[in-house]
Amino acid sequence: MEFALSEEQRLLQDSVTRYLESQCTLDHVRAAVENEVTKHTEVWNGLSDMGIHGIIIPEDFGGVGLGFLEAALIAEALGRTVAPVPFIASCVMAPVAILAAGNASQKDIWLPKIASGETVFGVGVSEQVGRRETNGIQFSDGKLTGKAMFVLEGMSADMLIIADDKGVMHIVDANAKGVTRRNLKTIDKTRAVAEVVLENAAADTLSGSQNNTEALLKTIDTGRLMLAADTLGASEVMIEKAVAYAKERKQFNRVIGSFQAVKHMCAEMATELEPCRSLVWYAAHSVNHIPDESRLLACHAKAHLSEIGRFVAKTSTEVHGGMGFTDLLGLHYWFKRIGLDRQLLGAPELIREEAAVAQGW
Amino acid sequence: MDLAYSAEYDDFRSEVQQFLKEHGHKSPKGRMGWGKTDDEGRSWQQLLIEHGYAARTIPKEYGGYGAEADVLKNHIIAEEFVKAKARPGHSGDPRLVPTLLELGTEAQKKAYIGPTISGEMTWCQGYSEPGSGSDLASLSTKAVLEGDEWVINGQKIWTSGAQYADMIFCLVRTEPDAPKHQGISYLVFKMDTPGIEVRPLVTMTGEAIFNETFYTDVRVPKDQIIGARGEGWFVANATLKHERGSLGDPNQLETRFGALVKMLKSEKIDGKPLIKYPAYRDRLLQLQARVLSMKCNGMRILSASIKDQEPGLCRWIVKLLGCELNHQMAALAIDAMGELGVLYEDSPYLRDYGMWQRNYMLDLGLIIGGGTAQIQKNMIGERALGLPKEPKYKD
């Protein structure tokens, strides 16, 4: 019985975190955001060299074949450094969809390209979580027509996975005829979401998702899990920054961290976040090892981390006082990262309702 | 991550299950622990000690089972007893016995540990005073050595079980001129010693869970001190640690969550179960995420303990979050029951014996007791996050 990271997992976590903390600095993030560049950056290529792109892709397809706990550790490290890279959509959700529902040739073609970093995938499944400004996406005669909103990494992607109205997933070339993409500006500039308008766009169906929602649900669940891990990492850093600031900033001739009002804000953040780490580990572990529980756990991890993330984002900003509100300090990159994570693939109330239904309540 | 148990532990679990299948029917009803016991409770405890399910790691010469410490086996025993709804065994008062084992003299261990773990000798704790709560080290009940006896004068509060305890372990000031932490001694004495008065302290739940105890010229033999004179604060700290560890237990959170779900399914408004109302449902699911995260946090602590590692922050937060979570579960039950939720005592239409209101109040007591939520946050801020202490107030 061991509820802890293995030696290998800790090494992976340490090396990725160390790499990102040295290379994916706030200056890098600011520059990447300014140029709206999220792929083929030095950081993205560096992660590729470490095998991160193929983290969950089996070795037969050029990946490293690790589990979702390892993927969650990567997502956490990326959240820590608000890294502007398309990891969640391209390296987790797309391979999950292709592995679960793709045919042999789809796997052979796409998985090695994802693992090598040659191809970046965007994922559009928002309509299957909660349809907003759209009339949906229809599929007939091998073509897709309609509008997919909030497509994760839709702008930087070379290829897209789009779920139609029936929940069937298809591979679509992002640059093909009949595909129009538009950036949807959000509060968080570190990851792009797009509107994808499809007009008779050629689609290569992932046939395993026909008449069977398992693959789609697993794609959404693992995406949620990664968003939860991303929020975990971003929240950790917001707490570390708040504590460091509270130890250094002086008012009334004292460091503000010696005031109980400020100390308790820090203690509350750390207290609330600590069990979240165990929840994310367990939820990620369950995808590979306790599949019966993984749906419920992914829902809870996403919803709960969203709530705690929001609390940490607000409280940490308050601990920083006026400086927290400025662009100068850049704390808002973490605040906004957590803000976007919360809304994507279902905000907490929606997910909790799903979790209730999943338990037959 | 490997949540499976090795064969040794799977076998051990089967043994425990087999024992409970054979003997479980002898378990007294209710979850009374190391406090007041009756004959039935004592013979159950004796049976558990013989099989190694109570007083497991206490050496044989002091009446225990004498097994080597094994965190995982303890965990398995606890889990199986909960599953079988059998009353768990105990190792005597969880604050006192570890202290005696660590710091008591041979004679003290012989005299007290055996009867305590068998349930013949029960204890109460005399720490807090009306003027010394969070600042416990400022306590002023004093003991003066006169010949071969300590003479004790003062008052204690929150002395739970004092009305039926045989003995008390008590912090008293013996060195009035020393700095406050160095002037305290840890005494043990009989509760029927002349000069002790016990007055029940009725709490907001309507029950006298605690007492105030008064000490007027109470004479105690000189050798009934644990540790050295003036070292009582350090002796007591070992026991405070044990007490804090037991509040906010994740197994208990899961049990209460199960009861909450059951109630929300069975209670109805206009024929529609409460669990179908979106507002209650959403709160329920928020609480479920918290219960799950505390369960995972508990597994992480267990895992660290097995390897003899210090679990760190994940242990510090258990009391603070666990007590608050229990309180919130009771709050949801009360809210969802509407007017029924305020029925109390022996009212008609009372639900679940009134336990939700009782727990709602009792949990608030636990949020305050055993180190208030605010003291917990100070400790987390200072010891886990390294934030500086508040400057000392100079008068």
Distance of CA A250 to the CA centre of its chain: 37
Residue A242: which CATH number? Answer: 1.20.140.10
Range of the domain at A276: 214-358
Q: Which value, to the nearest 10 degrees, does the dihedral of the CA atoms of residues B313, B318, B321, B327 take?
A: -170
**What's the rounded Cα separation, in Å, for the pair A232 and A162?**
27
8 Å CB contact of B284 and A356? yes
Would A2 be classed as within a structural domain? no
Strands B123-126 and A193-202: unpaired
Q: What is the mean pLDDT of residues A76-100?
A: 97
Residue A152: which CATH number? Answer: 2.40.110.10
- Residue-wise pLDDT for B259-296, tens only, equals 999 999 999 999 999 999 999 999 999 999 999 999 99
pLDDT band at B239 (very low <50, low <70, confident <90, very high): low
8 Å CB contact of B381 and A1? no
- Do residues A244 and A341 share a domain? yes
Which domain-ending residue is among A159, A179, A209?
A: A209
In this predicted structure, the answer to whether residue B347 has a pLDDT above a threshold of 70 is yes
A68 within 8 A of A88, measured Cβ to Cβ: no
Residue numbers of B annotated as active site: 243
Residue A109: which CATH number? Answer: 1.10.540.10
- Do residues A242 and A139 share a domain? no
- Residue-wise pLDDT for A36-62, tens only, equals 766 678 899 999 999 999 999 999 999
- Do residues A250 and A336 share a domain? yes
- Do residues A109 and A134 share a domain? no
> By percentage, how much of chain A surpasses pLDDT 90?
94
User: What are the beta bridge partners of residue A195?
Assistant: A182
What's the confidence (pLDDT) of residue A69? Answer: 98
In this predicted structure, the answer to whether residue B31 has a pLDDT above a threshold of 80 is no
- Residue-wise pLDDT for B186-224, tens only, equals 999 999 999 999 999 999 999 888 999 999 999 999 999
Which domains are seen in chain B, by residue range?
9-92+101-118 (1.10.540), 123-231 (2.40.110.10), 247-384 (1.20.140.10)
Which domain-ending residue is among A209, A234, A261?
A: A209
- Residue-wise pLDDT for A139-198, tens only, equals 999 999 999 999 999 999 999 999 999 999 999 999 999 999 999 999 999 998 999 999
- Enumerate residues 289 to 318 of chain B having a beta carbon within 8 A of any beta carbon in chain A: 289-290, 292-294, 296-297, 299-300, 302-304, 306, 313-314, 316-317
**What's the rounded Cα separation, in Å, for the pair B121 and B114?**
9
Would A337 be classed as within a structural domain? yes
pLDDT band at A317 (very low <50, low <70, confident <90, very high): very high
| Mean pLDDT taken over chain A | 96
Residue B15 or residue B239, greater confidence: B15
- Do residues A172 and A290 share a domain? no
- Do residues A194 and A237 share a domain? no
- Do residues A97 and A158 share a domain? no
8 Å CB contact of A282 and B299? yes
- Do residues A34 and A168 share a domain? no
Would A37 be classed as within a structural domain? yes
Which helix (H) or strand (E) element contains residue B172?
Answer: strand B167-173
8 Å CB contact of A266 and B381? yes
Which domain-ending residue is among A209, A232, A267?
A: A209
In this predicted structure, the answer to whether residue B33 has a pLDDT above a threshold of 60 is no
Q: Which residues of B touch A352 (CB under 8 A)?
A: 281-282, 285-286, 289
Which helix (H) or strand (E) element contains residue B123?
Answer: strand B123-126
What's the confidence (pLDDT) of residue B242? Answer: 54
Which tokens go with B14? 């089967």
B72 within 8 A of B5, measured Cβ to Cβ: yes
Would A21 be classed as within a structural domain? yes
Three state DSSP letters for chain A: CECCCCHHHHHHHHHHHHHHHHHCCHHHHHHHHHCCCCCCCHHHHHHHHCCCCCCCCCHHHCCCCCCHHHHHHHHHHHHHCCCCCCHHHHHHHHHHHHHHHCCHHHHHHHHHHHHHCCCCEEEECHHHCCCCCCCCEEEECCEEEEEEEEEECCCCCCEEEEECCCCCEEEEECCCCCEEEEEECCCCCCCCEEEEEEEEEECEECHHHCCCCHHHHHHHHHHHHHHHHHHHHHHHHHHHHHHHHHHHCEECCEEHHHCHHHHHHHHHHHHHHHHHHHHHHHHHHHHHHCHHHHHHHHHHHHHHHHHHHHHHHHHHHHHCHHHHCCCCCCCHHHHHHHHHHHHCCCCHHHHHHHHHHHCCC
Q: What is the total count of domains within chain A?
A: 3
- Do residues A261 and A139 share a domain? no
pLDDT band at B244 (very low <50, low <70, confident <90, very high): very low
Would A31 be classed as within a structural domain? yes
- Residue-wise pLDDT for B43-77, tens only, equals 999 999 999 999 999 999 999 999 998 989 998 99
| Mean pLDDT taken over chain B | 92
Strands A121-124 and A169-173: unpaired
- Do residues A184 and A288 share a domain? no
How is residue B388 annotated by DSSP?
P
Q: Chain A within 8 Å of B171 (Cβ-Cβ)?
A: no
| Of B171, B210, B141, B255, nearest in space to B366 by CA | B210
- Do residues A223 and A352 share a domain? yes
Find the DSSP H helices in chain B: 7-23, 39-51, 71-83, 96-103, 106-118, 232-246, 250-266, 278-306, 313-316, 318-337, 355-368, 373-379
- Do residues A101 and A192 share a domain? no
